[in-house]
Structure 1
Amino acid sequence: MKTSPYLNSPRLRTLANWIFLRKSGGANRRRIIPSDAVFPEVWELERKFPELKAEVDALLKSRSIPTYDTFDPQRASEVSDEWRLYYAYMFGKTNQLAKKDLPTLLSFAQSTPNVVNAFVSILEPGVTLPSHQDPYAGILRYHLGIQVPTDNPPRIRLADEFYQWKEGEGTVLDVSLEHEVVNESAQARVIVIIDFRRPMGPLASALNRYLLWQKRKFAPQFVEAAKYDVMH
């Protein structure tokens, strides 16, 4: 039976989140953050945007991308079972198919030590991710627009701030805050998401690395699902 890496060890997670957020500004922490302020390494990926976009476009034509409930039914029941995801890299484990499907993204993830997860996120027309927040505060989440409808463009609300994706533009979001996503356009919204370790002091960072290392046991249920979703 599949379990969720985001909902295990609730008492330890609550304590760790308190430490992480206290080290990050608490309730006054930034919601939408320029990537060069906390994740300057991603410039190397943005520099290769044409190659990355071509790989994602080809992926969408060659594979039927599985929905969130395929990987994590517990968490999907709280967020959405219509959200489609392709994991190239999860908790340090490589999706072997991504070596062919998404070599640019995978190479960046493997060569950047603070990267935790790297994946493609697809929201079909009319799909909404209702108000929720990530249960684990040890990561920040980078978004890079790949295919973004220009007619009634989709958007994300993060607490009391809004962000509207643009093709080729990246930003960092603190998804430990309450947020929701709306796609009311007639086209899919496709982005690349990279989770990376939240920058903190040495002790909090050491705890974060340890807890994320423990989550590696959940990686197979995320990266292996792609093996069964090839278009014929």
Structure 2
Amino acid sequence: MAANQQDKKKRPLLVRVGKALRPWFNNFIAKDSLVPNTPNLDNKLFPWVAALEAAAPLMIKEFQAVMAERERVPALRDLSPDHRRIAPDNRWKSFFLYGYGIAVPENCAKAPVTAQLVAGIPGLCSALFSILEPGGEIPPHKGVTKGMLNAHMGLGVPRDRDNCWIQVADDKLHWDEGKVFVFDDTYRHTVQNNTDDVRGILFIQFERPTRGLGRLMQRIFLDGVKKSAFVKDAKDNIERWNRIQAELEKA
């Protein structure tokens, strides 16, 4: 208990320092990036994308198996308190395979093909099945660092595809089953699922390819994030959730 209280006291200072230094880190990272500093990036820059798309049917089957027990998938806001501003209700759910390089063994066992494929992505940070329930919305926001890029693969696309989208800067993107797109989440982005169906994707965060001083700044920033309460709280909550689910299965 004392340790938790101490973490809470330290947290505001860490957040303030992080926010103050973030533009400085991002400038160095963007300057030394080996890929364009644009909102959306060409899949050809990332050779692993083709391997993922080739295995899409297998990953879709694993996603569907997880969705068969949808009530066992937690809301993101319950796993990560820091996400509550952009996860205002329980309609955004997350089934983590990896979180900041840390595997979730129980979940990887339920999606072994997906887990193995994403583990081979250079600089993998996080990988999860991201589920947005009908009517779900993720309000406009920006990611915290240029040091990571995001990739989305469609696993369960609503029939009314045109009314389910993500807007990144000025571009509105739609998901297609088995297809990937890559974007920089430090640009303002927002998500809407204005349909009667669930939207399911494989959500991947990976390190931006960089060099020189930008690479050093990237490592310092990401190492700091991995050691922060932001990651520790989420890891503890995922473990707690999985323990509860295991106990329910035994009951």
User: TM-score normalized by structure 2?
Assistant: 0.81
Structure 2 gaps of 5+ residues are none
CA 7–165 in structure 1, closer or farther in 2 if over 3 Å, else same: farther
Secondary structure of 2:173 counterpart = strand
**Other-structure match for 2:122:** 113
Identify the match of residue 110 of structure 2 among 101, 114, 124.
101
Farther off after superposition, 85-94 or 13-22? 13-22
Shift of 1:29: 3.1
**Other-structure match for 1:172:** 182
Matched, 1:53 2:60: yes
CA distance in structure 2 between the partners assigned to 1:139 and 1:19 by the alignment? 13
Identify the match of residue 87 of structure 1 among 86, 93, 96.
96
Equivalences for 1:124-163 in 2 at 5 Å? Answer: 124-151=133-160, 152-163=162-173
Farther off after superposition, 143-152 or 107-116? 107-116
CA distance in structure 1 between the partners assigned to 2:183 and 2:245 by the alignment? 29
Shift of 1:225: 5.0
CA distance in structure 1 between the partners assigned to 2:155 and 2:77 by the alignment? 23
Shift of 1:222: 5.9
Over aligned residue pairs, what C-alpha RMSD do you find?
A: 2.6
**Other-structure match for 2:205:** 195
Structure exhibiting the larger radius of gyration computed from Cα positions: 2
Paired amino acid for 2:157: V
CA 60–7 in structure 1, closer or farther in 2 if over 3 Å, else same: farther
Contact kept, 8 Å, 1:140 with 1:198, in 2: the verdict is: yes
Contact kept, 8 Å, 2:165 with 2:174, in 1: the verdict is: yes
Contact kept, 8 Å, 1:105 with 1:118, in 2: the verdict is: no
CA 43–57 in structure 1, closer or farther in 2 if over 3 Å, else same: same
More helix by share: 2
Shift of 1:66: 0.9
- Aligned residue pairs, count: 228
**Other-structure match for 1:71:** 79
Shift of 1:24: 4.7
Shift of 1:156: 0.8
CA distance in structure 2 between the partners assigned to 1:52 and 1:72 by the alignment? 25
Matched, 1:17 2:26: yes
User: TM-score normalized by structure 1?
Assistant: 0.87
Secondary structure of 2:68 counterpart = helix
CA 81–209 in structure 1, closer or farther in 2 if over 3 Å, else same: farther
Paired amino acid for 1:224: E
CA distance in structure 1 between the partners assigned to 2:87 and 2:209 by the alignment? 26
Shift of 1:223: 4.2
**Other-structure match for 1:213:** 223
